[in-house]
Amino acid sequence: MSMQKLIRPAKFAGGKRPSFAAAYAKAVNRYQFSAGIFPSFAWKDHAVVRVLQVDDIDHGTKVDADSIEDDMEYLVPVTIGTPGVVLNLNFDTGSSDLWMWSTQTRNASRAQIAQHSVYDPAKSSTDAAVAGSWSITFGDGSSAKGTLRSDTVTIGDIVVKGQTIQLATEVSRQFLNDTETDGLLGLAFPKLNTARPKQAATPMVNMMKQNLLATPVFTCALGRNEEPGFYSFGYIDPNVTPNRLTYVPVNSSRGWWQVPSTSYSINGKVVERPGNTCILDTGTTLTLVDDTVLSHIYGAIPGAVFDHNEGGWKYPVDAAIPELSFAVGDKLYKINPKDMSYAEPFNGFYFGGFQSRGDMDMDIFGDSFLKAVYAVFNQGENTVGLAQRDD
């Protein structure tokens, strides 16, 4: 399918509401690349099963993750500077930048700046200059760029000193129109960081370097709409689910949390996908898989059709949803039927939370998958552990 068709603007009538088109465009824009750029590699280890456990919570913290616009994204309060200003940041396992609105965002109007919490380096006693700059450009032309500073970053009870932060001096129209998000905190591996001439360490890497964590992990339990969700750093919460964590090795050669996903099942029938991999990405709303998989999924939903105008699959609001599972490593994880749809119904149809990955040679397991699991990202061992949350 044409990837250009996927970045049409939303056509919903009325006021502001969650938009399938916006969610899909968000995914397309961040993964605009040709197939085949990833090197081949072998997964040498089989999945390892470990019991959920709590490490020393005195060396860890938990922070709330609030759903915005029907789970379009999740925002976490982070304090920057001394005295600190609290910014609502999107925690993103698909990127490695820590960038934010600031008093240096020159192309924003006063009214636009007033809609955000912004960082002012002149008001922080722990601020310091860092030589260099940063710049991000996405496939649809949206962009942000700016300068580098260093300051104290506080996430929950963890205080990271001397963290390089990226101040936006200019943001494109797409970011100017976003009134909810004050910036982004990347949790992928540092090689994705866009700071130049020297890439910046992520907050997670600095937590490890500064011995702020009992164990080098962060975890993610995303909620649905008003349900509570959270991230934790340094420990694993045993109260999320009674199910056991299954760990798989990560290929971090390109900076992502990339893991094998070699099968899926529909109504108990398993389909093998030899060699397939996926990226676990909290910064992508939808889950993107290949078109053959999609034809099987939506072929099992009565009345499902591909909407050529909006560029995605949709199905009737009263349709029966099949039992769907996707593998990470050797284990299948069941998708909650609630996450089969994204956004509110329109003209009697839901748009699906699972859509095409286009010409990419890997899947993107975004929030519509991750809401069904408790995810443990172990940056010390390059592994990811998942436990089923919804039985």
What residues act catalytically?
A: 92, 281
Q: Which two tokens stand for residue 211?
A: 């011995």
Amino acid identity for residue 288 in this structure: L
Distance CA 129, CA 23 (A): 36
Q: How many CB atoms lie within 10 A of CB 153?
A: 26
Helices (H), the chain: 20-30, 110-114, 173-176, 203-209, 291-299, 367-370
Farthest-apart Cα atoms in the chain, separation = 61
> For residue 286, which of 2, 95, 68, 25 has the smallest C-alpha distance?
25
Q: Dihedral of CA 27/28/31/35: which sign?
A: positive
Q: How many CB atoms lie within 10 A of CB 69?
A: 17
Task: With H, G, I as helix, E, B as strand and everything else as coil, classify residue 338.
Answer: helix
CA 206 from centre of chain = 20
Distance CA 305, CA 299 (A): 9
Close Cβ partners of 355 (under 8 Å, ≥ 6 residues apart)? 24, 27, 286, 287, 288, 294, 312, 313
Distance CA 182, CA 76 (A): 10
Phi and psi dihedrals of 292, rounded to 5? -65, -45
Close Cβ partners of 114 (under 8 Å, ≥ 6 residues apart)? none
Q: Are 331 and 246 in contact (CB under 8 A)?
A: yes
**HSE-CB for 164 with a 13 A CA cutoff:** 22
